[in-house]
Amino acid sequence: MMQTKISRRVVVKGGLIATALVPAIRLMHNAALAASLTPLDPNDPTAKSLGFVTETAKVDASANPTHKPTQKCNTCAQYQGKVGDATAACNIFVGHSVPASGWCKVWAQKPGI
Ligand code: SF4
pLDDT in tens for each of the 113 residues of the chain? 556 677 777 666 655 555 665 555 555 555 566 679 999 999 999 999 999 999 999 999 999 999 999 999 999 999 999 989 999 999 999 999 999 999 999 999 999 87
pLDDT at site 45: 98
Phi first, then psi: give them for residue 103, nearest 5 degrees.
Answer: -165, 150
Whether 98 is in the pocket of ligand 1, judged by its Cβ within 6 Å, is: yes
Distance 20 CA to ligand 1 centre (A): 32
The span from the CA of 86 to the CA of 75, in Å, is 12
The alpha carbons of the chain give a radius of gyration, in whole angstroms, of 21
Q: Is the pTM above the cut of 0.85?
A: no
Q: Which residues pair with 53 in a beta bridge?
A: 103
Whether 102 is in the pocket of ligand 1, judged by its Cβ within 6 Å, is: yes
Q: For the CA atoms of 71, 81, 113, 23, what is the dihedral angle to 10 degrees?
A: 180
Residue 72 is classified by DSSP as -
pLDDT at site 7: 73
